[in-house]
Amino acid sequence: MTRNDYSTTDEGTLHTKRGFLLYTVFSFVLLAGFLWTIDFVPELRVEDKVEVPTIVVTTQEPTQEEIEDIEEETASHTVTVPREEPVTHVATGSQVPIRIVIERIGVDTPVLSPASTDIDVLDRALLSGAVLYPGSGEAGENANMLIFGHSSYLPVVNNQAFKAFNELSKLSDGDIVHVYSESHTYSYRINDVWLARAEETVISFEASAPTLTLATCNTFGAKQERWIATAELLRTEQL
């Protein structure tokens, strides 16, 4: 058999395979079209479709009229998240704060507890983080716990303690503050934020429920404006 004979045989085989493939595809399309025409192919019924419900979250108990309106407009389940009530009990275990975290404004700093109210002593403590004012309450106590720290908006700050309480002014009602002791986590909820003159600010350490007050300053005791934020204790969790 010559080379031309082999080429003729290969081409014939190739044409045969192509013809068979085309015939198979054509037959499948023809059969599918026929089944669809006689309505033999099953379709997804409307009642079989699965709808993902929309969850509406509210921060207070809705009225019956509001519930009916939501159900009519969204045809979904309504989940009510009640506003968590503050606690009034005193936690057990260590209550001296050693760290404070406010995720809302990116605060995460150690808390120091100097024994003296001397300005020089407080200023030195502020170089290492936020400071618990001596004589104020501790975490979880039925008293007012005062924690203060520096705020600095300089583009470059070598000592991070100088911006320990940056953005404190941006806190708002409902924001959460976590205060850590060696044994517990105390979660407080912000309820007020305001700007005050330092010489006009009077903070009482007495309180009928666990309370937290935060304040910013560049040098403690200086005559300047300060941002003040107060919060109430929500819960205590053991580490």
pLDDT in tens, 160-191: 998 999 899 999 999 999 999 999 999 999 99
Q: What is the pLDDT of residue 24?
A: 74
Q: Is residue 60 part of a domain?
A: yes
On whether residue 94 sits in a domain, the answer given is no
Range of the domain at 149: 99-238
Of 4-18, 33-47, 59-73, 151-165, least confident by mean pLDDT is 33-47
Q: What is the pLDDT of residue 116?
A: 94
Predicted pLDDT of residue 158 = 86
- Residue bearing the bigger pLDDT, 149 or 217: 149
Residue 76 in any domain: the answer is yes
pLDDT for the residue 155 = 75
In this prediction, what percent of the chain has a pLDDT beyond 90? 44
pLDDT of residue 226: 87
Written in H, E and C, the secondary structure of the chain is: CCHHHHHHHHHHHHHHHHHHHHHHHHHHHHHHHHHHHCCCCCCCCHHHCCCCCCCEEECCCCCHHHHHHHHHHHCCCEEECCCCCCCCCCCCCCCCCCEEEEHHHCEEEEEECCCCCCHHHHHHHHCCCEEECCCCCCCCCCEEEEEEECCCCCCCCCCHHHHCCCCHHHCCCCCEEEEECCCEEEEEEEEEEEEEEHHHCCCCCECCCCEEEEEECCCCCCCCEEEEEEEEEEEEEEC
Q: Identify whether residues 164 and 210 lie together within a single domain.
A: yes
* Residue 202 within any structural domain of the chain: yes
CATH of the domain at 193: 2.40.260.10
Using 50, 70 and 90 to split pLDDT, how confident is the model at 202? confident
Q: How confident is the model at residue 49 (pLDDT cuts 50, 70, 90)?
A: very low
- 163: in domain: yes
Q: Is residue 40 part of a domain?
A: yes
- Residue 91 located in a structural domain: no
* Whether residue 85 has pLDDT greater than 60: yes
* Inside any domain, residue 199: yes
pLDDT at 39 over 50: no
d(CA 221, CA 215): 12
Q: Compute how many other C-beta atoms are within 10 angstroms of the C-beta atom of residue 78.
A: 16
